[in-house]
């Protein structure tokens, strides 16, 4: 048949086809495309040799559902239990649950290759499009920002921060005493109030006032709510077409709330910038470089917001988990009380130096970071051009990879009886656990900048509470692991405790 005859046959067939036939043909082609790409992704994709459930591999729907469903930590852990230390849980997504991968993914590598932050996960805030220290992907831009902020986290700066932490820790002790006398108190709220006030002072030059007012400030409520919304955002951007519909998919209240929050942040930061003060808060270091690095008002506000989330929610989470696990483990709680009460007679003796010499208190905190990491998911990175080796396996370029925090710290290959809260792992010289597998602050050039501040804050608050009060869990049915959701961060349940004061202060 000649091409002319063929063409006329085809065009006649199209002309004669009714709407139903066209729709059926279109659907048939779509089905063929879906089946074809599923077969390719499962059997011929460069990641095909990695194990993982087929339903997770064929599209990002499984990934997105897990992220917004609030139980991704447990889902990914169950995949590791079934498939091993490396799991493919999206078309282009590998999760690692082994200590060996920490160095290869996050640290400076011997081959000089750099795995940058996944821009789909760390998206720049759409409202103002301002770059900030936590989400910036580009290594050079990040290095410049990190250098600018490093002074804010120096040992000298830490001394000033300790004063502030002591001040709010003492306010917290007062609030616990006052409210505890009236009935059970929700420790989660009290810790949020405290850590947000400390960060408010450092990142915006003023506290939120929650601790003073014994009430969650609306600003904090917006930030806590945004954790869930950020998970939606990540899920949407992983799927086709939906990012184009994001405006309509975002509830108007959330959209308007985001814009209002951005403008209020800018007003707050400008108010702080106009203040004449010698105080070395985070803002002072950014202001010093503002002209040289052309930092806009929006960027200053974005940095401050990022620091608030990075530094307050995480510390409040570890303090809450710490108290849940201690109050559920009388042996450990008793041992901690003996250590703290044997060492201090009054809260004035508790400071950054003296608390370093409390090995059991340190072990309780390390164990909480392990059993309940404040950031339970993997911090996603993208493999570089030419791919690279991770934990002894070649991973092709452009793959999203990460060490899944919850899975690696609950991996029985690294920790015996991983679901048991056992601070002794960290003190017993004969313990065979691989303690290096727990890296709650990450490693390498994107490691947490506030690690020293977080340790001081958590140690001081834990030591003071243990010295001053006997606490008892009020809700005996509470199951910390069961009763909370994991978005990118935890959404914690209430933690009501009965308070009995011991000594006055
Ligand atoms: C228990 C408390 C904390 C934990 C578990 C924690 C954990 C982490 C983790 C895992 C990262 C890496 C995030 C990523 O790769 O996306 C990070 C980054 C960061 N954290 Fe923390 N953090 C804590 C407290 C703090 C505090 C108190 C501050 C002080 C404001 C802080 C400031 C930062 C900053 C600025 C970064 C970004 C570092 C960079 O990208 O160069 N963190 N943190």
For 145-175, write each residue's pLDDT tens digit: 999 999 999 998 999 899 999 999 999 999 9
Q: What is the pTM of this model?
A: 0.93
Pick the residue whose CA is nearest to atom 20 on ligand 1.
Answer: 448
Q: What CATH architecture does domain 54-501 belong to?
A: Orthogonal Bundle (1.10)
Confidence of residue 13 (pLDDT cuts 50, 70, 90): low
Q: Which atom of ligand 1 is nearest to the CA of 195?
A: 27
- Point out the least confidently predicted range of 97-101, 150-154, 239-243, 354-358: 239-243
Sequence-ordered list of residues with C-beta below 8 angstroms from that of 505, at least 6 positions apart, any chain: 170, 173, 346, 347, 468
**Of all residues in the chain, what percent carry a pLDDT higher than 70?**
96
Q: Using the mean position of ligand 1's atoms as its centre, give its distance from the Cα of residue 449 in Å.
A: 6
Residue 102: count of CB within 10 angstroms of its CB: 20
What pLDDT digit, counting tens, does each position of 46-79 carry?
999 999 999 999 999 999 999 989 999 999 999 9
CA dihedral 81, 87, 91, 92 (to 10 degrees): 140
DSSP string, 37-62: HHHIIIIISTTTTS---HHHHS-THH
Indicate the pLDDT class of residue 242, thresholds 50, 70 and 90: confident
Nearest C-alpha to atom 36 of ligand 1 is from which residue? 448
Q: What is the pLDDT of residues 287-306, one digit of tens each?
A: 989 999 999 999 999 999 89
* Domain positions in the chain: 54-501
CB under 6 Å to ligand 1: residues? 133-134, 146, 307, 310-311, 314-315, 318, 374-375, 379, 440-442, 446, 448-450, 453-454
* Choice among 102-111, 184-193, 223-232 with the minimum mean pLDDT: 223-232
Q: Which value does ipTM take for this structure?
A: 0.99
CA of 312 to the centre of ligand 1 (A): 10
Residue whose Cα lies nearest atom 27 of ligand 1: it is 311
CA distances from 462 to 363, 364, 446, 496 (A): 12, 10, 27, 17
**Digit-coded pLDDT (tens) for 36-48:** 888 999 999 999 9
pLDDT recorded at residue 10:
63
- The answer to whether the CB of 374 falls within 8 A of the CB of 490 is yes
The residue whose CA is least distant from atom 25 of ligand 1 is 311
Tokens linked to 20: 């139903």
CA of 42 to the centre of ligand 1 (A): 36
List the end-to-end C-alpha distance of the chain, in Å, as a whole number: 100
Atom of ligand 1 nearest to the CA of 145: 41
* Position 216 pLDDT exceeds 70: yes
Give the per-residue pLDDT at 17: 72
In this structure, what token pair is assigned to residue 49? 């040799």
Q: Mean per-residue pLDDT for 340-353?
A: 95
Q: Say what the pLDDT of residue 491 is.
A: 92
**409-410-412-414 Cα dihedral, nearest 10 degrees:** 0
The pLDDT, as a whole number, for residue 124 is: 65
d(Cα 498, Cα 352) in Å, to the nearest integer? 28
448 is in an annotated binding site: yes
CA 450–ligand 1 middle distance (angstroms): 6
Question: For residue 260, what pLDDT band results from cuts at 50, 70 and 90?
Answer: confident
State which ligand 1 atom lies nearest to the alpha carbon of 374. 5
Position 27 pLDDT exceeds 70 = yes
Probe ligand 1: pick from 115, 151, 448, 459, max atoms within 8 Å of CB? 448
- Asked if pLDDT for residue 28 goes beyond 70, the answer is yes
| pLDDT, tens digit, 9 for 90 and up, residues 450-495 | 999 999 999 999 999 999 999 999 999 999 999 999 988 999 999 9
pLDDT at residue 258 in the model: 78
Determine the atom of ligand 1 nearest the C-alpha atom of 317: 1
Average pLDDT in the chain:
92
**Mutation choice for ligand 1 from 310, 377, 440, CB with most ligand atoms inside 8 A:** 310
Structure tokens at 352: 């950054």
Over residues 352-373, the mean pLDDT reads: 96
pLDDT of residue 339: 98
Question: What pLDDT sits at residue 259?
Answer: 81
What is the best residue among 285, 370, 450, 455 to mutate for testing ligand 1's pocket, by most ligand atoms within 8 Å of CB?
A: 450
């Amino acid at each position: 048949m000649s091409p002319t005859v063929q063409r006329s046959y085809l065009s006649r067939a199209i002309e004669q086809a009714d709407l139903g036939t066209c729709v059926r043909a279109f659907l048939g082609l779509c089905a063929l495309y879906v089946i074809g790409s599923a077969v390719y992704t499962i059997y011929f994709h460069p990641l095909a040799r990695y194990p993982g459930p087929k339903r997770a591999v064929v599209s990002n729907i499984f990934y997105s559902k897990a992220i917004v469903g609030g139980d991704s930590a447990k889902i990914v852990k169950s995949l590791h239990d079934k498939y091993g230390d490396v799991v493919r849980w999206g078309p282009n997504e590998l999760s690692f649950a082994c200590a060996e991968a920490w160095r290869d993914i996050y640290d400076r590598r011997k081959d000089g290759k750099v795995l940058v932050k996944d821009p789909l996960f760390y998206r720049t805030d759409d409202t103002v499009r301002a770059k900030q220290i936590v989400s910036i992907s580009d290594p050079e831009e990040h290095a410049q920002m990190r250098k600018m902020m490093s002074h804010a986290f120096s040992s000298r700066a830490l001394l000033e921060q300790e004063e502030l932490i002591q001040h709010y820790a003492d306010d917290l002790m007062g609030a616990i005493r006052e409210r505890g006398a009236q009935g059970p108190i929700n420790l989660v709220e009290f810790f949020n109030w405290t850590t947000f006030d400390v960060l408010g002072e450092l990142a915006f030059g003023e506290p939120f006032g929650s601790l003073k007012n014994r009430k969650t400030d609306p600003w904090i409520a917006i930030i806590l709510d945004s954790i869930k919304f950020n998970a939606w955002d990540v899920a949407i951007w992983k799927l086709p077409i939906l990012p184009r519909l994001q405006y309509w998919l975002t509830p108007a209240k959330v959209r308007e709330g985001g814009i209002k929050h951005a403008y209020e942040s800018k007003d707050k930061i400008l108010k702080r910038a106009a203040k004449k003060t010698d105080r070395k808060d985070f803002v002072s270091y950014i202001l010093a470089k503002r002209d040289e690095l052309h930092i806009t008002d929006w960027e200053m506000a974005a940095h401050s917001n990022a620091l608030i989330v990075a530094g307050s929610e995480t510390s409040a989470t570890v303090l809450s988990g710490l108290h849940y696990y201690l109050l559920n483990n009388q042996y450990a709680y008793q041992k901690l009380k003996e250590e703290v009460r044997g060492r201090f007679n009054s809260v004035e003796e508790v400071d950054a130096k003296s608390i370093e010499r409390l090995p059991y208190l340190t072990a309780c905190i390390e164990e909480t970071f392990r059993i309940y990491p404040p950031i339970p998911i993997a911090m996603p990175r993208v493999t570089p051009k030419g791919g690279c080796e991770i934990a002894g396996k070649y991973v092709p370029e452009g793959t999203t990879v990460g060490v899944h925090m919850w899975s690696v710290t609950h991996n029985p290959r690294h920790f015996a009886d991983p679901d048991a809260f056992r601070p002794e792992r960290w003190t017993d010289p004969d313990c065979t656990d691989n303690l290096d597998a727990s890296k709650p602050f990450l490693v390498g050039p994107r490691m947490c900048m506030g690690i020293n501040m977080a340790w001081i804050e958590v140690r001081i608050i834990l030591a003071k509470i243990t010295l001053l009060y006997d606490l008892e869990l009020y809700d005996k049915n509470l199951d910390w692991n069961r009763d909370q959701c994991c978005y990118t961060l935890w959404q914690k349940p209430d933690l009501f405790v009965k308070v009995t004061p011991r000594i006055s202060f």
